[in-house]
Chains A and B, each alone.
Chain A
Amino acid sequence: MQEQPQVLYKNRYVPGINTLEVYLQHGGYESFRKALTMTPDAIIDEVKASGLRGRGGAGFPTSVKWVAVPKNRDQEHFLIINADEGEPGTAKDRDLMNALPHLMIEGCLCSLMALNASKCYIYIRGEYIEPWKSVQKAINEARKAGFIGKNVLGSGLDFEIYTHLGAGAYECGEESALMSSLMGERGMPRMKPPYAPLPQVKGVWDKPSVVNNVETVSTLVPILAMGGAEYTKIGYGSPRSRGTKLFSISGHVNKPGIYEIVLGTPFNEVLEIAGGVKGKLKTYIPGGSSMGFAPPTPMDYPFDYEGIPQNTKTLGLGSGGLIVFNDTVPIVPLAARLTHFYHHESCGKCTPCREGLNWMAKIYDRILAGAGRESDVDLLWDICDNIRGKSFCPLGEGAIWPVMTSLTLFRDEYLQYIRTGTYTPPVAVTTAG
């Protein structure tokens, strides 16, 4: 196994690293001090050189998002941190906020510098009371130490960071819905370009706004510390997948956990890092449930932004929530559960998602109750086809992906399940001796 350089997690297991005192002893806030001496353009150039892509799910290049923000400072700009982590299988932002809150706060400050902004809101999902307290405590400490507030470190610049607690809506993780929610509205998505201006031009309160994931801004800290060019040397994936990423590895592996892994690490090594598969690999979800189910082969492809969709026909790396299933698990209840999840979380704004998922949930219920028909397999596919490309926001697209991939990979198992109401795991072949 290749060694995995720890960049974000370098000090993850240092006792007390969540306190300012210990964080400072380990070089804390040095990247921010450096950022204070740089121009916004110079910071964005480092980020561009690093090749950093958004860690929240979409993988959009961070520097490209940032250069679209107007340069003038005659109106307020806002940075919004997406800590709404709700994608099934994803647990990394919770760990970052619990264990390394100052890393995230420092990342926010560096990003504020890059964006010529002074106000940051951290939108944390309502269930995350403990991470919220951890982050708020770090903000209070950083304020006392002069990293937040007026005239920070004598720079003449003001920085404010606020936490904002959500209240239970997966859709609020979608960035335009998140902005609506932050403004005190229902968490419904908004029209996007080309039909509406970019949020970087007209976002919350009609001011230039940037939404970034917790891990994305945290990664700014090591990038500024080592320089963007140095950061690209980490990793052996494609030129478009540089650096490391946090993966939440759950399901049937021997050591489930959150691991910092170099992008492009072969998939079988990723599994080894998590202690190897418990039992025989049946399928896995590479990056949070919306990405869909992947076949058990190939195993030796680069696990990164390009490698995953090319080799598995899933949507891709997503949020880094890798969920592994062995062959004791029937596929139909998994797909049924996810369909119910998306149906429950559908915001109801557009018909294909709202109605289509309602139908699909009913069909799955009927199959699970033993009253399914063989034609349900095609019916599910047809409904997916009607949602595909027609939903107002990506939730609808993410909802059909686990269903379509499961139908493609496990059509026979669906039919068997419908006919017999049960799933018979394949018989293990034991070799004598």
Chain B
Amino acid sequence: MSVFSEETIARLDELISRYPTKKAALLPALWVAQDVGGGVLNPDAMEAVASHLELPPAEVQGVATFYTMYNKVPRGKFAIEICHNVPCMAFGAEELIAHCEHSLGISAGETTPDGHITLARVECLGACCNAPAVQIGSKYYENVSAEHIDALIVQIKSLPDNPDHTPQGLISETASF
């Protein structure tokens, strides 16, 4: 039996219908699988994607590991991703990262012991004109100051779960927009 619900299967089939080959639906299907996994791409979900797209599991794994946004290991419920590329660097991205490391008590790339927050460095987010830029889930925050990020951290800590990481969160049903 598949790890996917009937609803998820229907979504995968809709995705497949967009392309001339089943394989082409692999990237979107992995997004769906990650969504269903609450933000993690589990081995059994990858396996289910492989079987649904009629691809060898090793091939699916090879593709999943190439792309950095598929989380093969669990991260915090919320990931605070701070851009450290040069335009943001010129506007204090390094200082902002150091500030977050201090207030969260972890280094960039780590997750708080309660599994709630991951702090990460990322490359250019395409928000360079409002540097420094931070992404949390699907949302962008721009011109971020230390005070601003402190307020965001307080807010995140008060939320039990990330609405982005529900089965219909980050990559919700496209037809419904």
Contact = CB atoms under 8 A, between A and B. Distances in A.
A133 B177 contact: yes
Interface in A67-112: 76, 85-91, 93-94
A165 B27 contact: yes
A257 B130 CA distance: 7
Contacts of A129: 137-138, 170-171
A184 interface: yes
Contacts of B174: 136, 140, 163
Interface string B68-93: 11100000000000001111011000
Given A129-B170, A184-B24, A90 B124 contact: yes
Interface residues of A, number: 58
A326 B162 CA distance: 40
A88 B129 CA distance: 11
B123 A341 contact: yes
B86 A337 contact: yes
Nearest to B172: A133
A5 interface: no
Contacts of B24: 182-184, 205
Contact of A167 (B23, B70, B125, B129): B70
B85 A251 contact: no
A31 interface: no
Contacts of A127: 69, 122, 125-126, 135
Contacts of B170: 129
Interface stretch (B1-9, B59-67, B95-103, B150-158): B59-67
B117 interface: no
Interface string A237-271: 00000000000111110001110000000000000
A337 B126 contact: no
A126 interface: yes
B140 A187 contact: no
Nearest to B53: A184
Given A86-B126, A184-B63, A186-B63, A251 B28 contact: no
A251 B90 contact: yes
B126 A130 contact: no
Contact of A86 (B23, B123, B137): B123
A356 interface: no
Given A129-B170, A248-B128, A183 B21 contact: yes
A165 B24 CA distance: 12
Interface string A313-352: 0000000010101000100011001100100110000000
Contact of B129 (A169, A170, A248): A248
B128 A165 contact: no
Contacts of B135: 127
A86 B124 contact: yes
Contact of B67 (A88, A164, A168, A321): A168
Interface in B107-143: 122-131, 135, 137-140
Nearest to B129: A256
A94 B129 CA distance: 12
A90 B177 CA distance: 27
B141 to A, nearest CB: 12
B62 to A, nearest CB: 7
B30 interface: yes
A87 B130 CA distance: 16
Contacts of A167: 27, 30-31, 67-70
A128 B124 CA distance: 12
B20 interface: yes
B25 interface: yes
Given A130-B140, A166-B27, A250-B87, A88 B123 contact: yes
Nearest to B164: A129
Given A162-B18, A251-B87, A130 B139 contact: yes
A121 B175 CA distance: 16
A173 B18 CA distance: 21
Contact of B130 (A93, A136, A187, A256): A256
A289 B128 CA distance: 12
Contacts of B26: 184
Nearest to A137: B177
A337 B28 contact: no
B69 to A, nearest CB: 4
A181 interface: yes
Contacts of A169: 66-68
Contacts of A163: 174
Contact of A140 (B23, B68, B85, B175): B175
A290 B128 CA distance: 15
Contacts of A205: 20-21, 24
A3 interface: no
Given A87-B124, A185-B63, A323 B87 contact: yes
Nearest to B62: A186
Contacts of A88: 85-87, 123-124, 128
A334 to B, nearest CB: 5
8 contacts: A88-B124, A163-B174, A169-B66, A169-B67, A186-B66, A249-B129, A251-B90, A333-B89
Interface of B: 18, 20-21, 23-28, 30-31, 53, 55, 62-63, 66-70, 84-87, 89-90, 122-131, 135, 137-140, 170-171, 174-175, 177
- Which 4 interchain pairs have the tightest Cβ spacing? A184-B26, A168-B69, A167-B67, A129-B138
